[in-house]
Structure 1
Amino acid sequence: MASSSVSATQSVGSSEATTLKRRSNDVGWEYGILVDGKKLDEVKCLLCGKVLSGGVHRIKEHIAHIQGNRIDGAIWKERSNKVKGYICRCAYEAAIPFHAFEKDSFKMMLEATAQFGPGVESPSRYEMSETFLKKEVDKVKESLKIHEEEWKQNGCSIMTDAWTDRKRRSVMNLCVNSTLGIVFLTSKECSLDSHTSEYIYEFVEYGIEQVGVENVVQVVTDNASNNMGASKLLKEKRPTIFWTSCATHTINLMLQSIGNIPRYKKVLDQAKALTIFIYAHHKTLAMMRTFTNKRDIVRPGVTRFAFSFLTLQSLAEKKIELRAMFSSNEWEACKFSKIAKGKVAHTTVTSLGFWQGVTACLKVFAPLVRVLRLVDCDSKPSMGFVYGELMRAKEEIKHALSDVPRNYKSIIDIIEEKMKDRLDSPLHLMILSEELSKYKKKEGMFGRSIAIKACEVNDDNFNLANWWSNFGTSALLLRRIAMKILSLTSSSSGCERNWSTFEEIHTKKRNRLESNRLNNLVFVQFNATLMNKSKQDKNIEKLVGSDASLVQDWIVENLENDDTEPGLDCNNNAMEVDEALQPRRSARLGDLDEDNFESEGESEEEINEVEFEDDGLHVIEQYGQYEEIGNDPIQS
């Protein structure tokens, strides 16, 4: 009888405890119960027994010792850290880059998971690779409709390039450029096919049909001979569509050729030998970083010559620190100061002629590098500026060389030779009808003060096509043509940057991806990045890059550097078709062989990787304003 009474009492207590807690997953109910099932506002604290009014929200504030409505106490912090711990563990185990967790899509995923509550299930591998990938492709296509409207209004450019993946499969891609940015259209595996002119033409023709013939103004590619052959085929079928050479590639060829002139090549070789010596040994590298306050003299660039320019600039900026290093007691005590290469490095740094040569090189290269910055970024269409900027660069180079013809003639000849039939097309020159005189004389809307004031500042935020849309009503034909031309890019480098997305997705662990799935993944990732681009920092220097492969020949000795044009051998002779048309990566980012380098007398401390310290992003455009370099600045 007694046992049944106890059992009944326990049953009643259990039932009462159940009724005194709300049916909620809120964490607050772990620390409080209702005083009365009929008074839902009064809650009793299980830790101290105090009765509070305000429901579960008040009990959480009471536990965390918070007054008011801000819940930021012990419970919240404990549970938040638990979630962060799981996120970090996932990142560590799966080797996910930390910056991936800064994306808005990750924050949205966290919010959706929290709103769902306990029991949420993650998608299966099949769902991620098929079901939801296809849904995301459709969603991205829907978000790109605003780009399609821009293509119809102001026209667009088709860009194509080729790449070889980790399984030695050749992949070609198609991108579309407009004032809104670059859109990845599609890719195609072509491992079994030769990259002939006909093959490239057919692929480009497919892209033109997808975008709409009436919307395409030009096709932009590098200067490879098979691309130039495809341009002739396109001109026969579609004479209204231009095929233009990549301005970034062409300007890089100019800079490389100028850099091969003996008087400039001597300085580049000296600078390269200096950086190779410093980076070859841990002791010299650590000594250099000590004197430069942990700043590097080698700075990666987006192209091979951009890197050379940035490194020369870096050397010039650290001239005082480097001279102090090679004159210090630490250098005298260093064993590498006694070897032949150490003595050569010391002679180079303490030589007045070397630093005058660096200044002269920078003054000659800087005008073209400024144009390279203009054409190698996606923030602003450059077609309307590139020709005029090159003419300006030529005059600046002449002035830098004291306006003496024998000093600048070889340089100007190189620029004009590379420009011919590449950067002097009607699109670049923009020679138009008699309506142009109205614009030159500032008649009608062109002469109004608001129109003149609107174009006073020509920076990255100034949209010249919009200016013509607003103030070109006095010359409607000229306005229509100007809006299309001034919305065009002059470079295909944005298409080549697409390969970094391929490389991120097609890693060694994921090299079994089918080409169709790889295409869908790149389509989603590349175009999703485009949609978020407006939120990114626009002040990032365009020439500074992160591809360390381009710096290897400045820190590792005896690396071969192939700077010949596609379709030509080292003697500028035509290559065999099969040889010239091999599957390739972009001509803009030539690959380097990773030869092993053993530092002299320090094999046990061989440097395999170099972590570059931050050296800022500012690129100076004018050099040696207070230094006279004379009529013949560098003796060859």
Structure 2
Amino acid sequence: MSSTQSDNPLKHASDDVGWEYEVLADPSNSDKVKCKLCKKVLSGGIYRMKQHIAHFKGNVAGCIKSSDDNKAKCKAALDEAKKKKKERNMHYEEVMEEVQLPHIEEDEDIEVVESRKRSRTLGPIDRFASSINPSSSKSNDGSKTWLIRKKDLRIIVASDEWEQCKHSKSTKGKVAYATMVSAQFWNGVSLCLRVFEPLFKVLWLVHGDKKPSMRFLYGELQKARNEIKEALKNNEAHYRPIIQIIDEKAHDQLDGPLHLAAYFLNPFYFFKDPSIQHDSLVMDAMFTCVEKFFPDNFEVQNQVINIEILKYKKKDGGFGRHLMEIGCIQNDDNYDPCMILIE
């Protein structure tokens, strides 16, 4: 490695004020950062560096070369981060209070649970361990799988095994007991599942190896956004912070020109919603891809954009076959838009 490379480690593409005062000490480890002012290497990433520059007491020594202006800028950034964290916590409490979620059944009290567990041959702990075994799960529906496990967890804390366990008498054990029988806790679990399950499905799509996922990523991400909004009763104040995080993480990773072009050229989405062709963002991405695929070949670019894409939009020729329509009804393991187009 050259001296230039070692003196200038990789810098993250971020507008966080902390990067004015730091670089990565090791390009492969974002946790190790180096102060540009005093050259001190710290563990803890950009947040710890801002504490270092601001002379924030308690976690790290202050930078000996930090000016009053530098201290003020980093202190303001730390205060803003603390404020946002407080707002997120307040937002969660508001959601918990206002979003109507299915509550634990009134008859699901400890006495009922106690009577149920007496009729089981397996111990509650053994039964729960069996229920979380991935090989024994036949459902990909997280909500349904957990509404099952809720009962098993509550049975555990009402069982003889739990009462005989030394931890049941400890402070933590009592907290665990109170949590397992708390309606508020399970309503929170329900909310988390309803919000994150749509995103989990997108991640599962990426992880799967049965068929290429590129043509589905943008469309399924859009679907996840809509499902999250519905889960939060279309209350913008509740869903906006979540959608904003998704958009920030997806930017330039799941919404690039290739993703958008694949979304447009997937009949599964376009044949259900032809208005996609009027989305300037999608069509600009399509043109960008054509220009990248056929650089300086204006004849081919013209053929694709002004002739072939028009056939696709109008469902001319093979695109208008009944086989195309019925083949795009359901996105299952057998669906392959490329094979449909070939046929």
TM-score, L = length of structure 2:
0.48
TM-score, L = length of structure 1:
0.27
Decide which structure has the larger Cα Rg and report it: 1
Structure (1 or 2) with the greater helix fraction: 2
